[in-house]
Amino acid sequence: MACPREDRERDELVLVGPLGVRAAESSGRPAAEAECALRTCFQRDIDRITHCKAFRRLKHKTQVFLQPEGDHYRTRLTHTLEVARIARTISRALRLNEDLTEAIALGHDLGHTPFGHAGERALNEIFPGGFRHYEQGLRVVDRLEKDGRGLNLCNETRTGILNHTTGIPRGSLEADVVRLSDRIAYINHDLDDAERAGILAPGDEPEIVRERLGERNSRRINSIVTDVIETSRGQDVILMSPGITEAVQVFTDFMYSEVYRNPVAKGEESKVGDILLNIWRHYVRSPRLLPEDYQRIAEEDGLERAVTDYVSGMTDKYVIDVYMDLFIPRSWQVR
């Protein structure tokens, strides 16, 4: 019988250049498995991530704006999809492995807490040893998904998820593409959302951004992506030209000062930390309130670890529901 996976692996000898990772050359999975007849190992990783629960929860997790009322603000899920699209475009143009790139991109934010970086800061304060969303991302795919069995992803996908924001070597150019695509996506869509929220007006961004990147969202993304492809072609590193690097740096600094640290946009954030800390302490004091699978993790990996896994996996809305349930007295209902 024909084997579409083998056909694709042969095609990759042409489509994926010498700097990319070919599926047939993957270093494998933590637990050995028989190959699929239809899909390469990286295609399988894409499917496993897309079908996992943590991926669906991204829909209800904050990107930057807490619980925004409007339908058009980005969530962690739409951010993830935008990163995947940008990363695939760059990867294809550079003849890297698009499937591996997509798997890393779809998995790159699975470890994010509710309420974005405010949530991450709170858990980092209280969990012994600290909390970082990229380490949690690897824990989600290795340990928490599929009732504690994990997704058993390829090592190249796992390394890419772990290292998408840190400076240490990431192991593949595909992972480097995702890391840069993450930044390209968020500075641009957060500017768009900040204008939607009335925090910035069109044209507020620095002149160098308008001049070198463009005045519209689509134009800016296209300018940066084109530059990355032209500058990185044939190199064993993913980078931008000096002129675009400078504009992107000014753009990033501008977003930090005007949006990410803006007291209007972030006005509710101080409340978020207290809510998460209270919930965390409550479960540590009363472990029997944890769902059964997290009680099992508590037995095997320690209580504080299990509570951190549970709380970090919550969506924004679920946190509020749990908080109401645990700490807000219910009014009497007379029937």
Where does this chain bind Mg ion (CB under 5 A)?
109, 182
DSSP state at residue 96:
-
CA angle 245, 247, 249 (to 5 degrees): 65
CA distance 162 to 159: 5
**Residue closer to Mg ion (CB basis): 180 or 279:** 180
Give me the least distance between CB of 112 and Mg ion, in Å please: 8
Give me the least distance between CB of 6 and Mg ion, in Å please: 34
CA angle 228, 230, 234 (to 5 degrees): 100
Give me the least distance between CB of 109 and Mg ion, in Å please: 4
**Residue closer to Mg ion (CB basis): 183 or 296:** 183
**Residue closer to Mg ion (CB basis): 180 or 311:** 180
CB contact burial 166-187 (16+ within 10 A = b; e otherwise):
eeeebbbbbbbbbbbbbbbbbb
Q: Please provide the DSSP assignment of 18-82 as one string.
A: TTS--GGG----SS--PPPSSS-HHHHHHHHHHTSHHHHHGGGSBSSSSS-SSTTS-BHHHHHHH
Give me the least distance between CB of 116 and Mg ion, in Å please: 10
CA distance 227 to 88: 15
CA distances from 300 to 111, 148, 207, 296 (A): 20, 11, 55, 6
**Residue closer to Mg ion (CB basis): 41 or 161:** 161
Element (H, E) at 208: helix 207-212
Give me the least distance between CB of 80 and Mg ion, in Å please: 7
**Residue closer to Mg ion (CB basis): 108 or 305:** 108
Give me the least distance between CB of 134 and Mg ion, in Å please: 10
3-state SS, one letter per residue, for 239-303: CCCHHHHHHHHHHHHHHHHHHHCCCCCCCCHHHHHHHHHHHHHHHHHCHHHCCHHHHHHHHHHCH
Give me the least distance between CB of 50 and Mg ion, in Å please: 16
**Residue closer to Mg ion (CB basis): 23 or 185:** 185
**Residue closer to Mg ion (CB basis): 87 or 265:** 87
Give me the least distance between CB of 101 and Mg ion, in Å please: 14
CA-nearest of 38, 197, 168, 57 to 113 is 57
CA distance 20 to 174: 7
Give me the least distance between CB of 34 and Mg ion, in Å please: 33
Structure tokens at 163: 């290292």
**Residue closer to Mg ion (CB basis): 182 or 193:** 182
**Residue closer to Mg ion (CB basis): 81 or 284:** 81
Give the type of residue at 321: D
